[in-house]
Amino acid sequence: MAHFAELNENNIVTRVIVVHNNELQNTDRSESELKGIDFCESLFGHRDWVQTSYNGNIRYNFAGQGYTYDEVNDAFYAPQPFASWSLDENFIWVAPIPMPEDDNIYAWDEENQEWKLVELTIE
């Protein structure tokens, strides 16, 4: 199955749908994204669709609702979780300092620009 992301006028993903692979096939049985877009247009009346992939074979990340499609870099990326975070070369948001690598659970503290240990209590 193939997946297609619907984009609004700001290239924000509004939904992702599943399209059967048969809808993408050319006469020689090769797959074509354009055929998938044609199929989506036949259902929804517009061509604002971009193919996305669960395994990251295309466009870096699997698109989800609220993700952005960057046309220049041909990439999907999630909404920015914190103002201080930046996109890496794989279009994944990263904190300004790495999270500690141990068996503890941490949460990002944007105000203090640090990782805080999450205290878990078992009742």
- Summarize pLDDT for 43-54 with one digit per residue, the tens: 999 999 999 998
Report the alpha-carbon distance of residue 72 to residue 65 in Å, rounded. Answer: 20
In a shared domain, residues 2 and 62: yes
In a shared domain, residues 100 and 117: yes
Q: What is the pLDDT of residue 120?
A: 83
Buried b (16+ CB within 10 A) or exposed e, 71-96: eeeebbbbeeeeeeeebeeebeeebe
Please give the tally of structural domains in the chain: 2
Percent of the chain at pLDDT > 90 equals: 89
Enclosing domain of residue 96? 80-123
In a shared domain, residues 69 and 9: yes
In a shared domain, residues 53 and 111: no
**Across 81-109, average pLDDT:** 97
In a shared domain, residues 119 and 72: no
In a shared domain, residues 61 and 113: no
Contact 87, 77 (CB under 8 A): yes
In a shared domain, residues 94 and 52: no
R_g of the chain, CA atoms, integer Å: 19
Which of 92, 91, 87, 109 has its CA nearest to residue 100?
A: 109
